[in-house]
Structure 1
């Protein structure tokens, strides 16, 4: 999703069925953006260490766009905990922006509302053509066989970040490549008030990202071929149990992590309280939190066999942010120009460098900045071993329902309650019963 930066997604309070009947956009609750073709509103997702950081990054670029085009962009950076609900409310009320960022995992769900502008060949030609973008990023821009609902903006993948000093002190010479190695190393590192692995049990999207890959490594998907939820397969249940067992059984995750939400695990890692974290494009966050680049290392996220690849060897979802336009904006020409500007080669290089993500624009990836320690593993993962989350209309409800189930299982583990195959299956069965398309 996302940047999502693996952010917490609140409960979706507006159903997609309702949204489909009242697609919105075009005016802003902040006073309106479409009363003039020289004004746009833009909802940006929180990519940096804070909303203020994002404003400092983006405002000079918006000023640059205004200087080039005469179009002023009114910016609002929306926290991940609010973003999906804000978007869903905008699709029904019409009180939304002209242009917005979406977690790419939501693409098919928001596409199903009909509220977003489809990017057909003619629309893509206005921003330089569809072939400018990496295929894997386009694969997370909407349902297969349909025109994308958005345009890739920032691409990310998961990787394993590790604290070099803590590894050295524990006598560990290299990062783990398999889950068995991760658990063994985590146990060596979990002592003296410090812990081997970080998690964010209350971060619903992060929960989904982790268990999606653990299930994929068992050959399990979360939806059937016809888009119906399939949350209680043996592979899905085993994936959730493995993830929660890092706290419940293996005891390499601190019990307090059950209550962690967005970026709290990153803070612990930066403060040398936790030795490993599975995260997306974390370099800029570490830097903002005072950690120098030589203090941490990065490696591909583990797989069962130790060698990442396709199919059961996938080790990351295709993470990232897409930029979308509300279909009934009164300033479609200006909105299109803004998307063209934000996805231009120059801006793609600049913004992805700043955030430590990978450009989904092919030409921008040639920059040496995307072959550094911080980015080379991410770039390789996206190219060879990442896979999109299910591009189905009910994906956002999946994140909420199953992400909450994992959150509740982490709470049980933190409280010392037993987490069994049966209790995991029961939690996932309850989540499946809450889905609209059973």
Structure 2
């Protein structure tokens, strides 16, 4: 998943209460209300460098689907800043699209609304079976023990992107494996007058993704086994402090990045302003901004010690996009056919190549198009050292509450205010108080 708007998630609680009664039917204005078996509406998330790029990628494939099935797909590419709010409005009004993209971290939250079609064994069989998909992608499709609320479409993992020339100029022979090595490399890079690591301090989703990884590396989770918020444990506090300290203490993240929003750190890296970038499947984005693949290297995200792996060596969330169907669609058969088409081996190769993502479909993932060194790093991460964000109904509120806490801590660091264990814990305590009570 890429990015969400802070205010959007506040509507989730209301949505959970209202959606069950709102999913019985649609109206002539919504996509989900489609009375024609020959048309579908599709909300696609903004995966490329712009909405226009996405239209150029998707429209030929939608035309191909229409030629095969006679079903016309009406496409709307929705910016990430609007997507969750649009979906939540659709769950309460019953006026949504037939098919939509969702960030995979939202799966359990949107599943709890009751608005999405459950992918039980019968529905999976219609698209070729559940066993076509890799396990890591299926782990981010809804709450454990329930039928998935969506089907994996694009898989992504975080990696460390580094500028080869800046590294060479600083006398650094290889990318850092641990955070201590990254900080040490940062001093060499800073001595050459270059900024070290890009971050997006006001991007709530990026904040969550990174502190989740640090949390795993500190042996901590943000929720108890029964799904209650647990933001103030020693491990979580240490994880958030270590991330913010990359700016506050270690001086590897520029203070100006405290105000950065979606894609600003990618832009800086592509322009050679930053030596390193932590990002998910960035190749297509970097290419669109004029950076050639031979200008940068890609390596696993650092860990505390040793090398990435399972347990405390987790170095990425299981990032990705899922494809969901509103169950009040008047064209469930057409919607299912569309999901089958989009997750077919051939389409998976086309779409994931366009977006530099990894197919969550096993057969497509083994195609030669996905065996480059950079893709090998991403596939290895997804297979060995990535973990799904908590699949709990309150996950969306968690992204907003903790993401905002981290944003405020970055603001403190940028302003020269001290970031201490106590100040971090206080922000996390405030975030926990904002979560729904069980």
> TM-score interval w.r.t. the shorter chain?
over 0.9
Q: Evaluate the alpha carbon distance shift between residue 28 and residue 301 of structure 1 in structure 2; reply closer, same or farther with a 3 A threshold.
A: farther
Q: Distance in 2 between matches of 1:370 and 1:83?
A: 29
State the Cα distance separating 1:33 from its structure 2 match.
5.6
Contact 1:10-1:82 within 8 A present in 2 as well: no
Residue deviations 1:228-258, cap 9 Å, x none? 0000000100111111111111111111111
What is the CA–CA distance in structure 2 between the aligned matches of 1:387 and 1:32, rounded to whole Å?
A: 33
2:196–2:276 Cα contact (<8 Å) kept: yes
What residue is the counterpart of 2:403 in the other structure?
A: 403
Note the alpha carbon deviations across 1:344-384, whole angstroms, 9 max, x for none: 00000110011011000000011112110221100010011
Q: For 1:146-295, what aligned pairs fall within 5 Å after superposition?
A: 146-191=146-191, 194-295=194-295
- C-alpha separation in 2, matches of 1:61 and 1:27: 28
Residues 30 and 96 of structure 2 are in contact (CA less than 8 Å); yes or no, is this contact kept in structure 1? Answer: no
8 Å Cα contact 1:210-1:243 kept in structure 2: yes
Partner Cα separation in structure 2 for residue 170 and residue 28 of structure 1: 62
**In 2, Cα distance between equivalents of 1:31 and 1:230:** 38
Q: Deviations over 1:274-333 (max 9, x none)?
A: 011111000000100000000000001111113111110111111100000001111000
Would you say 1:417 and 2:417 are equivalent positions? yes
Take 2:294 and 2:372, find their aligned partners in 1: how far apart are those partners? 12
TM-score (norm 1): 0.97
Contact 1:28 1:41 in 2 (8 A): no
**Pairing 1:318–2:315 present:** no
Give, in angstroms, the shift of residue 418 of structure 1: 0.8
Gaps of 5+ in 2: none
How well do the aligned residues superpose, as a CA RMSD in angstroms? 1.5
Shift of residue 21, structure 1, vs aligned partner? 3.6
Q: Does 1:429 align with 2:421?
A: no
2:31 touches 2:95 (CA, 8 Å); kept in 1?
no
Q: 1:163 to 1:29 in 2, by over 3 A?
A: farther
Equivalent residue, structure 2, for 1:52 = 52
In 1, the alpha carbon distance for the partners of 2:249 and 2:187 equals 11
Residue 37 of structure 1 is matched in structure 2 by 37
CA distance in 1, matches of 2:139, 2:31: 35
Measured in 1, the distance between the counterparts of 2:4 and 2:194 equals: 24
* C-alpha contact (below 8 Å) 1:162/1:276 kept by paired residues: yes
From the superposition, tell whether residues 112 and 30 of structure 1 become closer, same or farther in structure 2 (CA, over 3 Å): closer
Select which of 7, 10, 13 maps to 2:10: 13
- Structure 2 CA distance for partners of 1:172 and 1:122, relative to 1, 3 Å: same
Q: Aligned partners of 2:376 and 2:387: how far apart in 1?
A: 18
Partner of 2:305 in structure 1? 305
Superposed CA offset, 1:118-177 (max 9, x none): 000000000000010001110110111110000000001111000001000111110000
Aligned to 1:392: 392
* Normalised TM-score (structure 2): 0.97
Shift of 1:193: 5.5
Aligned to 1:84: 84
- Provide closer, same or farther for how the CA distance between residues 170 and 77 of structure 1 changes in structure 2, counting only shifts above 3 A: same
Larger deviation, residues 180-189 vs 259-268? 180-189
Question: Deviation of residue 22 (structure 1)?
Answer: 3.5
C-alpha offsets along residues 177-198 of structure 1, whole Å, 9 cap, x if unaligned?
0000011112222356631100
Shift of 1:13: 3.5
Match in the other structure for 2:67: 67
Cα distance in structure 2, aligned partners of 1:229 and 1:345: 39
* Distance change >3 Å, CA 307–CA 331, structure 1 → 2: same
CA distance in 2, matches of 1:430, 1:283: 37
Cα deviation code 1:21-75 (max 9, x no counterpart): 4344745746876031111110101111111100110011001111111111111
Match of 1:366 in 2: 366
**Pairwise CA distance, 1:19:** 3.9
- Matched position secondary structure for 2:8: coil
Output the CA distance in 1 between the equivalents of 2:287 and 2:425: 40
Change over 3 Å in CA distance of 1:102–1:327 after alignment to 2: same
CA contact (8 A) 2:170 2:192 kept: no
